[in-house]
Chain A
Amino acid sequence: LAKTTQPISMDSYEGQEVNITCSHNNIATNDYITWYQQFPSQGPRFIIQGYKTKVTNEVASLFIPADRKSSTLSLPRVSLSDTAVYYCLVVYGGATNKLIFGTGTLLAVQP
C-alpha cells in the first residue's frame, strides 16, 4: 500500500537550517518527489522536484538517498515567513490515481 508520511510538526528559529523528511514506501525507480509549501487559505506553491541524489534551486535543496524510500527537504536559513505547512508529493508507479500527498509538516519559525 503506497503511503507518504511526514512528521506532523517542527520548530525552528530564524537563521537556522531546517530539514523535513518524507517517507515514501513502494516508490519506483522513475517516480518523482515534489515538495510544496502551503499557507493558510491559499493553494500549495511548488518548491522543488527531483527523483535521485540531490537537487538544488534558489530556495531549497532536495536530498534523495540511494534506496529512495525517503527524501529530505532542506531550507537554508529560515525566516519567519517560512512558517507554513510543507507537503511532499509522490506519483507511485507513474499512475495518476496513485498521486499521493504526504501528511504535511507544520513548520513554525520563531524569532
Chain B
Amino acid sequence: DAGVTQSPTHLIKTRGQHVTLRCSPISGHKSVSWYQQVLGQGPQFIFQYYEKEERGRGNFPDRFSARQFPNYSSELNVNALLLGDSALYLCASATRGLAGYNEQFFGPGTRLTVL
C-alpha cells in the first residue's frame, strides 16, 4: 500500500504570493493533519481535518487555511507569503480521531522556500 503522498516535493515562491500544497492520506484513513517544520525545530501543528471537518487549529494566522475533500485528500493554502513561511510542510494521516491520540503516518513533506 502507498503511504502518505505530498505534492509538490519542492517549491520556490516570492513574498506576497500564494501557495497550495496537496496531501493524499493512506487508503482508509479519514484524518489528515498539517504541520510546519522550520529547519532545526520540531513540527508545529497547523490544522487537523477529520471526516471533512476541521477538528483542530494551531496558532497560525488566518493566511493559513485548509480543506479536506470527499476522498479525504487535503489541501493547505497559504496566502501573502512571508520569508518566515519557508519551512518543510508535513502532512500526516491517521485512521480516526484527535491528532496526537492515534499513530500518525507522515508524508515526506513539501519544502517551501520563500524568496
Query: Which residues of A pack against B, CB within 8 Å?
Result: 32, 34, 36, 41-46, 49, 87, 89-91, 94-97, 99-104
Q: Take A32-B101, A46-B104, A91-B100 as given contacts and tell me if A99 and B92 are in contact as well, using a CB distance cutoff of 8 Å.
A: no
Contact A101 B56 (CB under 8 A): no
Whether A104 pairs with B100 at a CB distance below 8 angstroms is: no
Measured CB to CB, the closest approach of chain A to B19, in angstroms, equals 19
- A-B interface pairs (CB < 8 A), number: 65
Q: Mark B19-59, 1 if CB is under 8 A from A, else 0.
A: 00000000000000000000001111100100000011111
CB-based contact A46/B58 at 8 Å? no
Q: Could you tell me which B residues sit within 8 Å of A by CB distance? A: 4, 41-45, 48, 55-59, 90, 92, 98-101, 103-109
The answer to whether residues A43 and B4 also contact, given A49-B103, A96-B55 and a CB cut-off of 8 A, is yes
Q: Which residues of B contact A100 (CB under 8 A)?
A: 45
**Given A43-B4, A44-B106, A46-B105, is A101 in contact with B42 using a C-beta cutoff of 8 Å?**
yes
